[in-house]
Structure 1
Amino acid sequence: MSNDKHLRLDDQLCFALYAATNAVTRSYAPLLKAIDLTYPQYLVMLVLWQDGASTSGSIARRLKLAPHSITPLLDKLERAGFVERQRDQADRRVVHVLLSERGRALESAAADAQSVVECQTGLDDVTLPALREELMRLVNRMEAEDETQANAVQTPETV
């Protein structure tokens, strides 16, 4: 019996994305370590540098993570003195996250690290933004498909 469906690692989009992600995050690791950040902490800081004070829930949504998954990151960033957390006075379940002075001062060093990694990719000023935009379109398509499937499961079919 012949099987025309052979799975090949080299043909997998998921593996290409996984390998590329690992290569990029490995490049960031020593640069971020020098400024006392891990890569996931760096992502949280990017949200705060770009968007300003945010709730923990909005940071999680922005990073496409479950809300509970950023709590340990915020704990470490707060202990390091990079962020401050404040409970909302009207709704104590809401936690506001703000940059501390030390956290704001870190942005310049993080920008330097980002520039180094960008150079290491070897991608030019046209290819890099085009690749980033295409990847985000992929994310949006996949999330829309996930939402469509979730809604289909929740909606009872009429017979």
Structure 2
Amino acid sequence: MVTQEFAKLWWKLSKDLHTHMDAELAPSLTEGQLTVLELLLNRDRMKPSDFIEFLATTPAAITTLLDRMEKASLITRERDEKDRRIVWVQVSEKGRAECERGMQIRERFLQSYLSRISSHNQQLLVYLLGKVANA
């Protein structure tokens, strides 16, 4: 019974978050693009193949995603000076601004949910979710 209730609540929270993010990020950004921008901000630059472990998709889909992001001026791609086979992906200034906007949208949404419970219970929830996620 607990697993069914957990699944139902998890699905609702996930659906609410995705629906909100899709609506608020549009038309200049998608959730997938926000994920790519956040990864790049934490790593400075990445090769397209580096995204595979973070995104649940195919190399071809990653290429398509990066193509769209480059066309929208969210990222830049440049060849490695020493090994021309390597392409480096970096976040652009516009991408930085859009990433910040996206993170603020997500932060406000999650805070609106978390504000329903006390600070202590928020910390407890994060702790317990950490236990479940890292089990």
What's the TM-score bracket when you normalise by the shorter of the two chains? 0.7 to 0.9
* Aligned alpha-carbon RMSD (Å): 2.8
Please give the TM-score of this superposition, normalised by the length of structure 1.
0.64
Q: Does residue 53 in structure 1 map to residue 50 in structure 2?
A: no
Instruction: Please identify the structure whose Cα radius of gyration is greater.
Output: 1
Q: Which has the higher contact order (CA 8 A, sep 6+)?
A: 2
Identity of aligned residues (%): 22
Partner secondary structure for residue 76 of structure 2? strand
What are the equivalent positions in structure 2 for 1:79-94 lying under 5 Å apart?
79-88=71-80, 89-90=82-83, 92=85, 94=86
Q: How many residues align?
A: 128
Distance 1:117 1:135, change over 3 A: farther
Q: Which runs of 5+ in 2 are unaligned?
A: none
Q: Does residue 101 in structure 1 map to residue 98 in structure 2?
A: no
Deviations 1:127-154 (A, max 9, x none): 453355245325xxxxxxxxxxxxxxxx
Separation (CA, whole Å) in 1 of partners of 2:7 and 2:58: 21
Indicate the larger mover: 118-127 or 19-28.
118-127
Q: Which runs of 5+ in 1 are unaligned?
A: 1-7, 139-159
Partner secondary structure for residue 37 of structure 1? coil
Q: Which amino acid aligns with 1:20?
A: L
Distance 1:127 1:29, change over 3 A: farther
Please give the TM-score of this superposition, normalised by the length of structure 2.
0.74
Q: CA deviation at 1:21?
A: 2.1
Partner secondary structure for residue 61 of structure 1? coil
